[in-house]
Amino acid sequence: MNKEKFLNLFDIQLSGLCPKSTVLLQLLHDLRGTILQDLEALLRDSRIGDVRPLLARLEALGLLACRQGFWACTWAGAGVANWRQQLCWAEYQMPDEPVPLPRPGENGNELGPPCSKFRAALFAPGYCWCYRSQAEHSLVLPKLDLSTSMKSWYQTRLYNGVISRLNEEQMREPSLTFS
Ligand SMILES: [Zn+2]
């Protein structure tokens, strides 16, 4: 296996799948999971044939899981399906630019580790591989500044409130100052 050829772990996993398994994984990802009977009914007139061996193989690879008859992508399976779409969209939208890559801990479907560098998830327009919107990346610093200034503004208000209340009390009860 030529490691330099691969761009990330999902790329390696995707390259090991046959075309039928790839389509099946993508379909289950897009459906957000389904039961076997529905899947078979859906694919009855397709050329995919018996889906059970394909499901078993994808499960053995850790890309699908079956719970109580419901087949769905695992975290890694979703990552591979998203990576496949990423490659398709990159070829279509930005053929001359490098493909935005996922980082470890990211599959494009669940919130990843903290991130300040937007890497377009082309399969989810406006979102990063870390599952945050583009706006959330650009707001990282201003957000901190805002919360700090809000805090000091609030503290000032609170302080002024206490002072003015004390003043009011003193105004109402001038006898206190003469006692
Ligand atoms: Zn990000």
Q: pLDDT by residue (tens digit) across 89-129?
A: 999 999 999 999 999 999 999 999 999 999 999 999 999 99
CA dihedral 143, 145, 146, 151 (to 10 degrees): 130
Distance from Cα 113 to the centre of ligand 1, integer Å: 9
State which amino acid sits at residue 128. C
Q: Is 120 helix (H, G, I), strand (E, B) or coil?
A: strand
Is the pLDDT at 173 greater than 50? The verdict is no
Residue 143's pLDDT is 44
Is 21 within 8 Å of 81 (Cβ atoms)? no
State the distance between the two ends of the chain, measured CA to CA, in whole angstroms. 92
Å from CA of 75 to ligand 1 middle: 18
Adjacency order of strands within the sheet including 70-73:
34-35, 70-73, 64-67
Q: What is the pTM of this model?
A: 0.74
CA of 140 to the centre of ligand 1 (A): 11
Give distance in angstroms: CA of 127 to centre of ligand 1: 8
CA 150 to ligand 1 center in whole angstroms: 26
